[in-house]
Amino acid sequence: MRLRENDDVGEKEEVVENDVTLAQNQWCPVVNAGFSSPKRAVVVGYALTTKKIKSFLQPKLEGLARNKGILFVAIDHTRPLSDQGPFDIVLHKLSGKEWRQVLEDYRQSHPEVTVLDPPDAIQHLRNRQYMLQAVADMNLSDSYGIVGVPRQLVIKRDAFAIPELVNKAGLTLPLVAKPLVADGSAKSHALSLAYEQFSLQKLEPPLVLQEFVNHGGVLFKVYIVGDAIKVVRRFSLPDVSKWELSKDAGIYNFPRVSCAAASADDADLDPTIAELPPRPLLEKLAKELRWRLGLRLFNLDIIREYGTRDHFYVIDINYFPGYGKMPEYEHIFTDFLLSLGQGKYKKRSG
């Protein structure tokens, strides 16, 4: 079996051959923690990239999981998935058609197992042409604010035609250029900012062009784990003034804008910029997107339009993001896994 490995911050492709045996985690004893009778463990089989294992399965998470009766077991890619386990939950972030087919077959033959998340639903987020469509279709607006998406244009080929296509679409400069494929590699996170029309010919399709919205240089990462929501601030691209737009030309490349080193949670910021989006608005948005996307593990990159208090834009959605950067992720994630496992046992015994 050959599987492509992609992470939300890595670009490495890893191939697993049939003659290679991956290490299988030791089965851990179930912790009784003072209960009068042993509790059945929630067994989580995981198929993650090497980088993802390092960033997500940290010692604190594994220790807390053991104390709560959750066992993480590595899935062996050299053996049929149905021959392994039994699992209560399969947690995965690998790519490739063969792996998707393995998961789909497993879901059909093991409906009692929760797969986080369905591979077909994840694929929807790997193409930026469709990634934000669910948000656009919602047209979310209530007393707490308005949530939309930037106007965008998909360019699949012919860079020389971009200026004309942008003009026909009526997009306003500056424009943010993003790769069309969002596969979790470093390349897929790279951005370019185009200040003038004719420099657009220097871009390399396939890509998506989004209108740049001034937002005070701060974005909000909204992490979603089941029903739980956690928001953190991150520094982003700085605002562009009309003077800069008239003076600057060309393309400015940014390998990665939002990262752990760019945390803005402790920065001395203008309160009108730093104020988090209203909690009720985020809860409504997350609930609707969980249903529309069919996902339970994802995050949103949200910006507030500068000069407004309640006008927000979703500019990116990522599946199974870097939860290791989310405060208190160990408690949030283990509670989520435990709730899934306990819910399954109640259904079986009911």
Q: Which residues are annotated as a binding site for Mg(2+)?
A: 301, 316, 318
Among the listed residues 179, 214, 215, 174, the one whose alpha carbon sits nearest the alpha carbon of residue 193: 174
Binding region for ATP? 128, 178, 210-221, 236
175-179, strands of its sheet edge to edge: 152-155, 207-211, 175-179, 191-194, 251-254
Binding region for 1D-myo-inositol 1,3,4-trisphosphate? 52, 93, 189, 221, 318, 322
Binding region? 52, 93, 128, 178, 189, 210-221, 236, 301, 316, 318, 322
> Kindly report the CA angle at 158 between 152 and 163, in degrees rounded to 5?
55
Distance, in Å, from the CA atom of 255 to the CA atom of 188, rounded to the nearest integer, reads: 9
Distance, in Å, from the CA atom of 190 to the CA atom of 219, rounded to the nearest integer, reads: 16
Distance, in Å, from the CA atom of 188 to the CA atom of 321, rounded to the nearest integer, reads: 14
Name 4's bridge partners: 95
Give the three-class secondary structure for 99.
helix
Determine the distance from the C-alpha atom of residue 72 to the mean position of all C-alpha atoms in its chain, rounded to a whole number: 21
Whose tokens are 């020389």? That residue is 160
Q: How many helices (H) and strands (E) does the chain have?
A: 11, 15
253 exposure class (CB count in 10 Å sphere: 0-12, 13-18, 19+)? exposed
Position 249, amino acid? A
The pair of structure tokens assigned to 131 is 């990634």
